Structure 1
């Protein structure tokens, strides 16, 4: 509040001066001379001897009556009351008329210009006071120094990434007891780079360092260095290190380093001279001609592939600390941290929730706990139950239910057969993840969702599993074709086809799963970023003949998956009908309920038939890289690429 008041104080004072100036000017021009008389009344009183004295100033006449009362009047042009005043014994005083405007009038006319000059002088004085800041303080560093009160995060608040936390704790130990490391000739790394997917806790780790370290801590984002004025970024880097050296030993944290440290000359992200000058200055300050012995740099990015190699050499960012998505034990620890302030029911098992959420990042788990709390609060519960966590997980994975959307019976039936087709293929084609839930209630952007989730963390996938997934993707479209005919198929499989095409392309061009093309990478790579509409970089890398072979192999993989799904649906057509009818009746079915419906068994529900019971096994999430937006008839995203380790 004091800082904000200090910024606006000059303008408040300037406004008060303006108000006082105008009020004083108006009071100076106003003269309190008593009653105002008409000129004829004034002449009558003069002739009657009731006027004692007058003061004449041009046409303005002021004076005093015999009774002592003051008055004023104005003589018309050409009138000359002097003879009558002299004849009636009135004392006359004459004052000269001022030539031109008054001083106040002149000042008022010049006031806007004077105000503008004052504002310019004020900002110029601020700029001079900024030292290295330059004009208007554009070159002043935007780094914020965290105070003791703002350092609330501790290492105890960071869970699930023990290896990364251990390396960062070493910085704090060095700052507390440097002799422990120096007696053996060791030096603390000058820079540490936190690398990992979004939401894994990189910024939280930096906040924990700030909370644990007993030294000044500066924080800034990489985008704060980039401005439209050339040289401003480099000036800000210099100023930041000057502030850091004054407070040494200290830690400087740069978030989103890729906004500042992209490769020079690559033309990525709108690179220009200003960006390169800023990066060059950062490189020189970190390990240039003058050594920085007491400033430790910590930075975070989720795009290490675009960083300039000069940033990553020893002496600058000596260590790259990978902050991956947590495993099951890490997720359990993270959930324990986030549920400390949440009143949970006795049936809530954090371990079970952790097993049910592989691929979730720390931010995903925090969002899951928050959604469960909101769901419980809407139901006026006093504690959060396990059912709330399951509903929150489904909402995060599949989107919120849209029960208000109006669908006629024909649309519901078509959606039921589409989702039943996905489920049948998932159940009877080997390699697919266990079925979790089927629903024809619109969720997110999807009209219906079939969710198949792994039971454990996955770091790679077999060819059989990918082929089973491809077959499942075509189950919805083929179910529509078998029931309604080829002329009545819908656009609901558009997203399924897109996913299947991309997956087949990666099998052929990246993972060497084609016998005709062999274990070669045809998808490009390196620094070249030439993307075609199908996601494959071919320009200048493969011949026309090879490109034709790639298309043929992708077509073959798709055709085989489609034929496999068609065979399964034809063999289990009765199960398809029963499952579709069950979806029309219950709208949402768990894996257990889907099996019971296909066997002709009745489903007993205590909730009146709405919603779905939890699966028999803890449901698991797909890897986070594929859990994006939902499409029509889509089961949820999926990306078989191993997660960073």
Structure 2
């Protein structure tokens, strides 16, 4: 209010200055008043002057200009005046009497009316919100009505449990009495949490389309501003809007932007973000009640939220929106192919089984990539082959056919990928994911990729599975050593990094060590934000740290030796697999089995028609000008592993 008053005074000062200048300008044009007797005495000098005579009931007003001066005379209405004017040959114009009351009123009140109008417009501008100078304390929430929400629950699939929880809240808003009859209380807050791309925001949009009540949408970052106190002010304004439109739903996306743990930053208790969080806590469950206002929030970082924000009475319900299972993936695919014409032979259940670990956003991207590939090949409908190519592109990256690779590097990459593949094929099937495809065509940032896909969704990783993963990762380096007479390359750098990280998690987090036992050592060394226990000492002694390092080293080396035994024992199969990769550049599961067993490989599929084989825009580049990319793409454990 002090800032508004100061600004208002500045405007008033400007208005007064403008009026003063106008008055000064008018005063410079003022006329000289003379008496009627003086006018009669100098009347004989006015022969070349034209007089303006304004006749009134009791007097006349005369004004004229003489020697660059303006004179004004007020005299009686007599015949003597006109006789003297005619006798001296003076021209004059008689102007009838005018009603000057309106003019006088305008002159007297117009400046005041103008000031009042400007003040009213200025005050309305301050209260209107938007991007004005005085509106930064207003919440930037968008109000969505039932008709504006284009997403409904028909568009939400694969998260049935979360959908049922949300539908119950909407039913409460529509029929409150049904729940209040048995003493039920409407939840004050609903927290949607889960990995990115699982449909948290989509579920909130479906709420807006189905609720039938006012729906306010805002992002957590919208509360953050350069001015101190703006975040708390916007929280207050947001809930005031909600109370006026109750019952209503307020949706805050990415609430971790303002809901992080208090006392964790380096700014102390006066941190602007903490003040915003304090105001949010008070509005959700403070001294005043917010009946009819439900807060729905979404985040993929529930671990960093303040405990006071998560307690009952604020966020009463926490709905986990997780990755869909095989049935959920099939339902999501059905939603996304509604507007995509597909071939009759496309079985969405097969695609769903071949995409474990995919989120809803990943599946939407898969369908879109398949449609783009079909259009690129000049087809009107999307076939199963388009989905397979799109899946390879999403999992392994786009093919980089323009990258020039020497024959020596091609041979090294083939042996490297053959090592991964052979180890995976010779380990017990129940401990590894089946090989889906192996290629030495550069994809993404990788020179070669060995792709494994689990036959079913994995929710737990056992010790034997983790050890098998390390052995498979070591297979590439061992195959290089066997093919290059002990030489080592940088191609295994990512494999070694992933294997070491996996072994350290087995020891420090998962308790998969016989020597150290089921004890967690610094489970979360990387704090979610700077300043939280920044000077915390290690939770174990230096001797324990050395024991951890020895155990990690032992796990990796034991699996390294395990993979070496497999490749040395089946060296002939390793060579056949590497040669097949050099010849064909990409092998499927059946071709891999044939190469390992020494059987003839299945014939290659027929060449794609010319129209379908046209390269996409940007793919047909000058190979002589292309540069070799030596970067190694990190593996996407446990779905695919790339080197």
Offset at residue 597 of structure 1 (A): 2.1
- Give yes or no for contact 2:304–2:528 (8 Å, CA) kept in 1: no
User: 2:63 corresponds to which residue?
Assistant: none
Structure 1 residues 586 and 191: alpha-carbon distance in aligned structure 2, compared to 1, 3 A threshold: same
Separation of aligned partners in 2, 1:591 and 1:269: 56
The offset of 1:170, in angstroms, is 1.0
Cα root mean square deviation, aligned = 2.8
Aligned to 1:387: 385
Q: Paired residue for 2:187? A: 189
Equivalent runs, 1:49-198 vs 2, <5 Å: 125=123, 128-130=126-128, 136-198=134-196
Partners in 2 of 1:305 and 1:399 — Cα distance?
31
How has the CA–CA distance of structure 1 residues 270 and 606 changed in structure 2, closer, same or farther, with 3 Å as cutoff?
Answer: farther
Q: Distance in 1 between matches of 2:380 and 2:455?
A: 31
Name 2:224's counterpart in structure 1.
226
- C-alpha displacement of 1:541: 0.8
Provide closer, same or farther for how the CA distance between residues 538 and 466 of structure 1 changes in structure 2, counting only shifts above 3 A.
farther
How far the C-alpha of 1:432 sits from its partner, in A, is 1.8
Cα deviation, residue 123, structure 1: 10
Question: In 2, Cα distance between the equivalents of 1:495 and 1:445?
Answer: 12
Q: Note if contact 2:452-2:639 (Cα within 8 Å) is conserved in structure 1.
A: no
Deviation at 1:606, TM superposition (A): 2.2
Q: Deviations over 1:373-418 (max 9, x none)?
A: 1111111111111111111111111000011111111111111111
The equivalent residue for 2:603 is 604
- Corresponding residue for 1:433? 433
**Post-superposition CA distance 1:12-61 (Å, at most 9, x none):** xxxxxxxxxxxxxxxxxxxxxxxxxxxxxxxxxxxxxxxxxxxxxxxxxx
Larger Rg over CA atoms = 2
CA 1:382–1:410 in structure 2 vs 1: closer, same or farther (change >3 Å)?
same
Confirm or deny: 8 A CA contact 1:192 1:298 kept in the other structure.
yes
Residue 609 of structure 1 deviates from its aligned partner by 10
CA positional deviation for 1:600: 3.5
Match of 1:136, SS? coil
Matches within 5 A, 1:607-618: 607-608=606-607
SS in 2 for 1:163: helix
The residue that corresponds to 2:516 in the other structure is 517
Query: 1:284 corresponds to which residue?
Result: 282
2:88 aligns with: none
Q: Is the 8 A contact 1:227 1:233 kept in 2?
A: yes
Cα gap change, 1:636 to 1:286, in 2 (>3 Å): closer
String of CA shifts for 1:436-470, please: whole Å, max 9, x gaps: 11100000110000111111000112211111110
Unaligned runs of 5+ in 1: 1-119, 532-536, 611-629, 641-645
SS at match of 2:587: strand
Contact 2:454 2:639 in 1 (8 A): no
Equivalences, count: 499
Q: Which residue is equivalent to 1:345? A: 343
Give matches, 1:360-399, under 5 Å: 360-399=358-397
2:322 corresponds to: 324
- The 3-state SS of whatever aligns with 1:411 is helix
What is the Cα deviation at residue 638 of structure 1?
A: 2.6
- Look up the match of 1:32: none
**TM superposition shift of 1:433:** 1.0
2:571 aligned with 1:573:
yes
What is the Cα deviation at residue 198 of structure 1? 0.5
Distance in structure 2 (CA, Å) of the matches to 1:268 and 1:638: 37
C-alpha change, 1:259 and 1:635, in structure 2 (3 Å) is: closer
**TM-score of the aligned structures, taking structure 2 as reference length:** 0.74
Q: How far apart, CA to CA, are the structure 1 residues paired with 2:433 and 2:266?
A: 39
Q: SS of the counterpart of 1:137?
A: coil
| Correspondence for 2:554 among 553, 556, 577 | 556
Q: How does 1:233-632 map to 2 (within 5 A)?
A: 233-267=231-265, 273-430=271-428, 431-486=431-486, 488-525=487-524, 539-598=537-596, 599-608=598-607, 632=632
Structure 2 CA distance for partners of 1:633 and 1:367, relative to 1, 3 Å: closer
> Does structure 2 conserve the Cα–Cα contact (< 8 Å) formed by 1:254 and 1:300?
yes
List per-residue Cα deviations over 1:520-572 (Å, max 9, x = no partner): 001334995699xxxxx994211000000000000000110110111111111
Q: Judge conservation of contact 2:494–2:635 (CA < 8 Å) in 1.
A: no
In 2, Cα distance between equivalents of 1:609 and 1:412: 25
2:145 touches 2:212 (CA, 8 Å); kept in 1?
Answer: no
1:396–1:476 CA distance, 2 compared to 1 (3 A) = same
Q: Which residue of 1 aligns with 2:199?
A: 201
Report the counterpart of residue 214 of structure 1 in structure 2: 212
Aligned residues of 2:438 and 2:449 also touching (Cα < 8 A): yes
Gaps of 5+ in 2: 1-117, 610-629
Shift of 1:270: 10
Instruction: Note if contact 1:285-1:292 (Cα within 8 Å) is conserved in structure 2.
Output: yes
Q: Which moved more, 1:275-284 or 1:146-155?
A: 146-155
Residues 419-442 of structure 1 show CA distances to partners (whole Å, capped at 9, x for unaligned) of 111111111122221111110000
Asked whether the 8 Å contact 2:439–2:585 carries over to 1, the reply is yes
Distance in 1 between residues matched to 2:179 and 2:147, nearest whole Å: 30
Aligned mates of 1:146, 1:265 — CA distance in 2:
35
Query: Partners in 1 of 2:206 and 2:388 — Cα distance?
Result: 31
Q: Is the 8 A contact 1:231 1:274 kept in 2?
A: yes
Identify if the C-alpha distance between structure 1 residues 409 and 528 changes in structure 2 by more than 3 Å, giving closer, same or farther.
closer
